[in-house]
Amino acid sequence: MPGLYSKFSEEVSFPRGLIIWNYFDHEHVVGTHFEHYHQIRILAEESNWCLSQRSATLPFMPIKMWATQFCYLKSDKWMRSFHFGPFGLLLEQDFHFEDVGSQGCRVTVESHMNVPRILRWLQPFFHKLMRRWFYSVWAEDTEMRERRLKVWQLGFRDFVGLNYVNNKTAGPARPDVDRPYPIELPVPKITEIARGGVGRPFKNSRKLGYGLSELPE
């Protein structure tokens, strides 16, 4: 394998449509991943691809770095992503989504970066860097996906919310765990592509998390 390479794979209990929604909801990187990303600007987007600029702080290197990312859905089970960084560096990634039962998915991420032969000794560092990045972002996405699935199964509609909450009526007796999660791209945006992008609206956060545990019956 030429250049630097790493591969990670995780099995999750989310439907494939939700995982792809998460990857194509580009605006969430400065929200959910606010500790890593500072700004994102979507330059152009169509149903199965997106070109964006992102400012991020990488693990082990406390410096802000801009990169241009192009990602596209080659099939409904395979996403390709290209990150163009400084000094002509190009990080290529393949995301494979494999169904596990009706509500699960295995995500496998392969990352490649071509470098001159003299820099091949960076392979262990590259692997460590990608691993740190993958798992820190993965953990934040997992919480997001869990919540998204929960509200989805309660009947959530994008840009509307939960009808029974809004209308103050009785809610569902139980979540609809079989509600299909279709792949519908592009994910609707709250900002316009032509604008200057979006960033974090605050400097510091006191994180309180996703909430307290449920009360005993």
Q: CB of residue 33 vs another protein: minimum separation in angstroms?
A: 10
Decide if residue 207 touches another protein (CB under 8 A).
Answer: yes
Selected from 19, 20, 25, 56, the binder of another protein by CB under 8 A is 25
Instruction: Please give the Cα distance from 27 to 217 (Å, whole number).
Output: 38
Who's near 97: CB < 8 A, 6+ residues apart?
16, 19, 20, 76, 77, 78, 79, 105, 106, 107
Which of 62, 169, 178, 195 binds another protein (CB under 8 A)? It is: 169
- Piece of the chain touching another protein by CB under 8 A; list 42-50, 54-62, 178-186, 199-207: 199-207
Report the amino acid identity of residue 133.
W
Among residues 87 and 202, whose Cβ is nearest to another protein? Answer: 202
Partners of 11 in the β-ladder? 106
Q: Site for another protein (CB under 8 A): which residue of 121, 168, 177, 192?
A: 168
158 contacts another protein (rule: CB under 8 A): yes
DSSP state of 138: H
Binding range to another protein, per CB under 8 A, among 12-20, 57-65, 98-106, 163-171: 163-171
Give, in order, the Cα–Cα distances in Å from 5 to each of 1, 11, 20, 125, 135: 8, 21, 23, 11, 16
CB 50 within 8 A of CB 70: yes
Contact flag: residue 202 with another protein (CB under 8 A): yes
Q: Which of 41, 46, 37, 13 is nearest to 187 (CA)?
A: 46
Residue of 1, 118, 160, 194 that binds another protein (CB under 8 A): 160
Query: Which of 61, 63, 194, 212 is in the footprint of another protein by CB under 8 A?
Result: 212
Residue 135 contacts residue 6 (beta carbons within 8 Å): no
Q: Does 105 bind another protein (CB under 8 A)?
A: no
- Number of alpha carbons in the 13 Å side-chain half-sphere of residue 14: 24
Q: Which of 62, 118, 166, 182 binds another protein (CB under 8 A)?
A: 166
Which chain residues interact with another protein by CB under 8 A? 25, 27-28, 30-32, 34, 144, 147-148, 151-152, 154, 156, 158-162, 164-172, 175, 190, 198, 200-202, 205-215
